[in-house]
Amino acid sequence: MIDQLNKLRDEALAELSSIHDLGELEVWRVKYLGKKGALTAMLRQLGTLSPEERPAVGQAANQVKARLESQFAEKEAELQQAARALAMERERVDVTLPGRPLALGQLHPTTRVLKEILDAFVTMGFQVVEGPEVEWDYYNFEALNIPKDHPARDMWDTFYVSMDGKPGEMLLRTHTSPNQVRVMEKTRPPVRVIVPGKCYRYEAIDPSHESMFYQVEGLAIDENITFADMKGTLSAFARMLFGQDRKVRFRCDYFPFVEPGVDMSIDCYVCKGAGCRLCGSTGWLEIMGAGMVHPKELERVGYDPSVYSGFAFGLGPERIAMLKSGIDDIRLFYSNDLRFLRQFR
Ligand code: DAH
């Protein structure tokens, strides 16, 4: 029986050494040390031995049992340790991995150039104000010397809003100029304001015409403001945006609310006036309309034209952005194409 015990021990230990996980180890424990296990069965047979044989065999059996139990405990500890290490390895976080990039928003190209334009005028003492996009016919036209049936209305066709079933009195403003009147009605001179905002026109859409676009209006009224003040202010602005070496040109133009009226150009900064594709071979780029505020407009808001005078101007930020960034189609601004918008970071 001692031989049998030793054989059982050797078998059990050999098997134990080839075990690699806790599941197999449990099977092994049940097989040898469990209640119905091989060693337990042999221990039960001790009772059948003669009293002479019993002590030696009993001692041998206990040694085998102790050996298997201690080997089992050792193996179990070893496998548990390995399992813990594996679990830790699986949960490991690699803190050196670069993070996923966040999708950052950015300012729209119109907003960017608007900020630049406003900053330039704020530096020169102008205050930023805003006015309504849905406007009365009176402010958009009448108060700007554009009465009903005046041919100048053809320059500004728009979308009309019907009021109590009566079309015609309210409209989407075609320019920011109505705010000249709104500001003057509410304040006394001196006035120095700049008015950014959206405008709308009933347009045949093409690369240089949109039905929605922005404008920036400017107005300066005081005693003794002259055409020279206008030229100085607008030239300073053009040089802030397009470079200190810009030349400027003022030519006569017609806007019913100013007299005289002008359009202002800068010399083409690509060809320096020699003529190129950007300036259509003219050497000049038109950037805004302007003029001395019409005396009738001043009278209408109760400003005495023999005391007060001033200048007004209007420009399109999309056009400024197009010139600055070489954009050749105004429709790109509001067609929500991310490939276009992402270029302005
Ligand atoms: N409101 C004009 C337009 O939309 C632009 C303009 C021209 C504004 C001359 C002015 C000005 O204030 O003096 O075409």
Report yes or no on 125 lying in a domain. Answer: yes
Task: Provide the CA 272 distance to its chain's centre, in angstroms.
Answer: 35
What CA–CA distance (Å, rounded) separates 170 from 166?
Answer: 9
Q: Give the tens place of pLDDT for each residue, 194-206.
A: 999 999 999 899 9
CA atoms within 13 A on the CB side of 12: 29
Of 12, 46, 18, 45, nearest to 30 by C-alpha is: 12
Residue 247 clears pLDDT 70, i.e. is over it = yes
| Domain ranges, residue 74 | 2-87
Which residue's alpha carbon is at the smallest distance from atom 7 of ligand 1?
289
Hey, what are 142's tokens? 């009448």
Instruction: Note whether 120 and 45 are same-domain residues.
Output: no
Segment 230-248 shows an average pLDDT of 96
Overall number of domains in the chain: 2
pLDDT at 126: 98
pLDDT at 322: 93
Q: Please list the active-site residues.
A: 156, 175, 201, 215, 258, 312
Q: Give the tens place of pLDDT for each residue, 113-131.
A: 999 999 999 999 999 999 9
Hey, what are 87's tokens? 């679990």
CA distances from 237 to 124, 150, 324 (A): 9, 33, 14
- Percentage of the chain with pLDDT > 90? 57
Report yes or no on 78 lying in a domain. Answer: yes
Residue 49 clears pLDDT 90, i.e. is over it = no
Question: Do β-strands 191-200 and 127-128 pair in parallel, antiparallel, or remain unpaired?
Answer: parallel
Tell me the CA–centroid distance for residue 177 and ligand 1, in Å. 6
Tell me the CA–centroid distance for residue 133 and ligand 1, in Å. 16
* Residue of 163 and 333 predicted with greater confidence: 333
Residue 111 clears pLDDT 90, i.e. is over it = yes
* Residue of 53 and 187 predicted with greater confidence: 187
Instruction: Note whether 208 and 323 are same-domain residues.
Output: yes
pLDDT at 259: 97
Report yes or no on 98 lying in a domain. Answer: no
| Range of weakest confidence among 110-124, 158-172, 262-276, 298-312 | 158-172
pLDDT at 13: 87
pLDDT at 59: 87
Give residues with Cβ within 8 angstroms of 230, minimum separation 6. 220, 290, 291, 292, 311, 313
CA distances from 90 to 22, 81, 94, 95, 165 (A): 18, 14, 11, 14, 72
Segment 64-78 shows an average pLDDT of 88
Confidence of residue 270 (pLDDT cuts 50, 70, 90): confident
Report yes or no on 163 lying in a domain. Answer: no
pLDDT at 277: 83
Q: How many residues does the chain have?
A: 345
Confidence of residue 41 (pLDDT cuts 50, 70, 90): confident
Residue 291 near residue 264, CB atoms below 8 Å: no
Of 124, 112, 4, nearest to 60 by C-alpha is: 4
* Residue of 317 and 4 predicted with greater confidence: 317
What CA–CA distance (Å, rounded) separates 25 from 7?
Answer: 20
pLDDT at 165: 66
Segment 241-270 shows an average pLDDT of 95
- Indicate the top mutation candidate among 126, 174, 177, 251 to test ligand 1's pocket, ranked by most ligand atoms within 8 A of CB: 177
Report yes or no on 266 lying in a domain. Answer: yes
Neighbours of 275 (CB within 10 A): 15
Residue 311 near residue 229, CB atoms below 8 Å: yes
**Which CATH number belongs to the domain containing residue 228 in this structure?**
3.30.930.10
Report yes or no on 170 lying in a domain. Answer: no
User: Which residues, judged by CB distance below 6 Å to any ligand atom, belong to the binding site of ligand 1?
Assistant: 175, 177, 217, 255, 258, 261, 289-291, 312-314
pLDDT at 16: 86
Neighbours of 240 (CB within 10 A): 17
Tell me the CA–centroid distance for residue 243 and ligand 1, in Å. 24
